[in-house]
Amino acid sequence: MRILGIETSCDETAVAIVSYEGGRFTVEDHLVASQVKTHAKYGGVIPEVAARMHVPVLPDLLSKVTGWKGGAIDAVAVTAGPGLATSLRVGIETAKALAVTWSVPLVPVDHMEGHVVSAMIGQHLSGDCWPALCLIVSGGHTEWVRVHAVCEYAIIGETRDDAVGEAYDKVAALLGLPYPGGPSVDKTAKRGSSSRFTLPRPMIDHDTLDVSFSGLKTAVRYLVDDTPEENRDETFVADVCAAFVDAVMDVLMAKTRRAIEQEAPTTVLLGGGVAASLVLRRRLTELVAGHQVTLWLPDMAYTTDNAAMIAAAGALRFEHGDVASDPFALDAVPSHVLGASWI
Ligand code: KG4
Ligand code: ZN
């Protein structure tokens, strides 16, 4: 089957055409227009600005993705949530119009399910791949997800406060590094020494797969506040970044190890914007080397928000029969509301 995917949940407008046959995805087209330069001026995403920017950009991207011309599209997938409601609606209303005009099913996709499926692109899906464990680390979510099989998920651990990407963004702001904080903290950390400062590893030994990152962020704030301004030079910033990244990775790896031991998965998947971190990819690769599991890392292009992952997740949902019963009634959903399908 061939499916058009649309993603407008936050500050990336994205369109993709993906085909799915015999357990394999083929990404035929994949375009992303990022608003990051606009939001960087404000140090974060301004929802009203994000929604307005999607409006002219989405039709522009659709006109550049030519694969849908000629009508060989079997369904339209769109991110229905979680995300910014006004941004989501731009994608949803466009997807509705296309699906109804083409008389094809409309497939609502959970954005986080998209991040899980992003690591399946390029792989051969079969019954042998499951059960799997997926670590999702994005700007809004940090979750360990059990994948019983395609379209059967359960959240088995999550952050109780800040998501990892959010913690990166906040630490970057405290250190005067540019938004988005993930790439800038990641890059700066490479020049620093992680041994100069010791930051807390919250909940690392707790008997749960849940985590918390707000205390770590606060510890960075105290470190900055307690250091005289003249001592907050480039080396200080780099050393704080290195200590922060080390603390985050130690927590993520400890919980992932615990989850692997608990769940005994066949496959481990990684997804979300923070999956672009080379340190995270290396640490996870090292971790799974000690276990009998196959690791699926997402292609770098599919780590941050994109529509290929939404189209791919939509293709699996389509085959599973999860299409909108009344396309006109579809509206933005604030959280994992496709929740019924998350068991
Ligand atoms: O998945 P995503 O694009 O959007 C959400 O669904 O939230 O994730 C965005 C997050 C941001 O917090 C950004 O700072 C972080 O991913 N990020 C990174 C890197 N690139 C993006 N974090 C760490 N290292 C990176 N290289
Ligand atoms: Zn995302």
Report if residue 335 sits inside a domain. Answer: no
Q: Which domain holds residue 323?
A: 2-119+301-329
Specify the CATH number for the domain of residue 82. 3.30.420.40
Nearest to 335, CA basis, from 83, 57, 35, 74: 83
Q: Out of 259, 275, 298, pick the residue that ends a domain.
A: 298
Chain position carrying tokens 């849940």: 210
CA distance 180 to 178: 6
Q: How confident is the model at residue 71 (pLDDT cuts 50, 70, 90)?
A: low
CB contact at 8 A, 165 and 137: yes
Ligand 2: distance of its center to the CA of 304 in Å? 6
pLDDT at 64 over 50: yes
- Give yes or no: residues 115 and 133 share one domain: no
pLDDT at 182 over 50: yes
Q: Which pLDDT score is estimated for 340?
A: 46
Which of 304, 310, 335, 336 to mutate for ligand 1's pocket (most ligand atoms within 8 Å of CB)? 304
Give the mean model confidence (pLDDT) for residues 87-108: 96
Q: Which pLDDT score is estimated for 338?
A: 45
- Give yes or no: residues 185 and 229 share one domain: yes
Ligand 1: distance of its center to the CA of 303 in Å? 8
Report if residue 267 sits inside a domain. Answer: yes
Q: Over the stretch 297-339, which tens digit does the pLDDT of each residue have?
A: 999 999 999 999 999 999 999 999 999 999 999 999 876 644 4
CB contact at 8 A, 27 and 298: no
Nearest to 85, CA basis, from 9, 139, 140: 9
Q: Over the stretch 196-207, which tens digit does the pLDDT of each residue have?
A: 999 999 999 999
SS3 of 121, please? coil
Q: Which pLDDT score is estimated for 10?
A: 95
Domain count, the chain: 2
Pocket of ligand 1 (CB under 6 A): 10, 138-140, 165, 168-169, 180-183, 186, 272-274, 276-277, 304-305
Ligand 2: distance of its center to the CA of 21 in Å? 25
Q: Which residues are annotated as a binding site for substrate?
A: 136-140, 169, 182, 186
The DSSP H or E segment spanning 205 is none
- Give yes or no: residues 60 and 143 share one domain: no
For the chain, what is the largest distance between any 2 Cα atoms, rounded to a whole number of angstroms?
65
- Give yes or no: residues 164 and 292 share one domain: yes
Report if residue 94 sits inside a domain. Answer: yes
Compute CA 252 distance to the chain's CA centroid, rounded to the nearest angstrom: 15
CB contact at 8 A, 157 and 210: yes
Percentage of the residues of the chain whose pLDDT score is greater than 90:
93
Percentage of the residues of the chain whose pLDDT score is greater than 70:
96
Ligand at shortest distance from the CA of 185:
1
Ligand 1: distance of its center to the CA of 69 in Å? 33
Atom of ligand 1 nearest to the CA of 187: 26
With DSSP H G I counted as helix, E B as strand and the rest as coil, what are the percentages for the chain, rounded to 5? 45, 20, 35
Q: Over the stretch 254-267, which tens digit does the pLDDT of each residue have?
A: 999 999 999 999 99
